[in-house]
Amino acid sequence: MLDNIRQTRLQKIQALRDLGISPYVSARAGTFRTETAKKIKDSYAELENKTVTVVGKVMLLRSIGKIAFATIQDETEKIQLFFKEDDITDAPFYTSNEGAEQGSGKLSNKALSYEQMSLLDIGDYVQAIGTVGKTKTGEISVMVKSFTILSKSVRPMPEKFHGLQNVETRLRKRYLDLITDSELRDMFVKKSMFWKAIRDFMVGEGFLEVITPIMEETTGGADATPFVTHHDALDEDFYLRISPELHLKRLIGGGYEKVFEIGPNFRNEGIDDEHLQEFWNMEFYWAYANFWDNMELVKNLYRYIATSVFNRSTFTMRGHEVDFSKEWEYIDYVETIQKALGIHVLNATEQELRNCLSERRVKFEENASRERLTDILWKQVRVNIPGPVFLINEPTSMSPLARISDVNPTVTERFHVIIAGSELGNGYTELIDPPDQLARFEKQQAMRDAGDTEAQMIDYDFVEMLEYGMAPTTGFGMGERLFSFMVDKPMRQTTFFPQMGRKVKG
């Protein structure tokens, strides 16, 4: 069936060429339009009976004797084209307004006659000149006087594509998903606004936007398994960064006081509704401030994103009702776990931690470290917290880059933003004590050597930077997972082209 349709359309392409009509207009020649579909609909009273030029993809096409209708779609909206055989002329198409008005300039393509409409198909891109009006049914339309083809489709548009239940097909053929789903296109516009809001807020707070390396000799800044790549010119293996943290802090060591970066990170771990291996994050570092200052800034940032992008403060996320405008609570890491599970993670033995997980039928690796077991326990508790709240007083062993609390040496000045049962932001007062940092790196490396591929590596160059001196600093990281929660969709669905794996033809 598909082969027959393709063959028929290929024959139409040849027929157009035989008529001297290009089925694929050169972008260099330009395609001219005076109004978008949305502008025509929004400004109908102003544009009624005015001549306009429109372009778009044919989404619907039907003819009834000497009249025909087509619905075209541009980036802004859909609009109907109305064709009447007696009204169609062979008026030429020009590449500029001046050419159209004066009958001069370079032609963009030859016009089609009414009879040649049979050479059009759903999926084609067309250009039409006509007057703005309404049909007998009251639908705002362009009453076409002249039209031409801009790009001929060979494959048919899938029927009812938006209704397909096969999510994988929609993600693999995202271009079809987007062209048939205006709400999806609008969502990605909001995602662009999401990053713009973050950038505007940070710049407004006096932060400098910077760019740091994607490939690193030593990767760190988070607990994650890195991707490995080979640098041919240097003949060395490099890691795709899991976080820009250690380079950004080097900039603080270099004398900057407020820096931030928006860019991609890569973590070679499992795919689920909240995680992808390639994702975008924002991290900032702020000298002469601590994690209490940090939390106040972050709270205002999240509220700014909510109101500037979505024009509201309340959201339904993963079954939780979340209000960013309310007062944000502070909850204690150890106390919260103990209250929910009845175990004190600092005082309990490693075996007691294992028993607690086993009783709840939670899976864990046999060689899992105490730190990993504690983190798994916390995740059992976290899912029931709607937030937004700040999780504080996280154990020192869980935070290799955070400053130890002056009040309690078993915990650090670290916090997580907990929203809808997940961690949607991570910050702390930075560790600037070189011997302490080296000791924690060594502990992480020992965990890594024991088989924990998510543990961090020793970065001796970073420790050397600290030995030259670094200002008291606080840092924070958050990413596009926050956006996916705000629109209440899985990460893959809020990413244009998520990794899907090769699809082998049988």
Q: What is the mean pLDDT of the chain?
A: 90
Non-local CB neighbours of 451 within 8 Å, separated by 6+ positions: 367
Share of the chain above pLDDT 90, in %: 69
How many other C-beta atoms lie within 10 A of the C-beta of residue 173?
14
- Helix, strand counts (H, E) of the chain: 15, 20
Q: Which ranges in 383-498 belong to alpha helices (H)? A: 434-449, 460-468, 481-486
Report the alpha-carbon angle 66-69-72, nearest 5: 150
Q: Please tell me the pTM assigned to this model.
A: 0.87
372-421 pLDDT per residue, tens: 899 999 999 999 999 999 999 998 888 877 889 988 988 999 999 999 99
C-alpha to C-alpha distance for 354 and 337, rounded to whole angstroms: 14
C-alpha to C-alpha distance for 389 and 394, rounded to whole angstroms: 14
304-330 pLDDT per residue, tens: 999 999 999 999 999 999 999 999 999
What does the pLDDT read at residue 96? Answer: 52
105-116 pLDDT per residue, tens: 455 678 899 999
Domain ranges of the chain: 2-151, 177-328+387-494
Closest among 326, 357, 328 to 343, alpha carbons compared: 357
Mean pLDDT, rounded, for 458-475: 94
174-228 pLDDT per residue, tens: 898 898 888 999 999 999 999 999 999 999 999 999 999 999 988 877 778 889 9
CATH of range 2-151; options 1.10.1740.10, 1.20.1640.10, 3.40.309.10, 2.40.50.140:
2.40.50.140
Residue 83's pLDDT band (cuts 50, 70, 90): very high
Mean pLDDT, rounded, for 271-294: 92
Is 384 in a helix, a strand, or coil? coil
pLDDT above 70: residue 100: no
pLDDT above 90: residue 296: yes
CATH of range 177-328+387-494; options 3.20.20.140, 3.30.930.10, 3.40.50.720, 3.40.309.10:
3.30.930.10
Residue 364's pLDDT band (cuts 50, 70, 90): confident
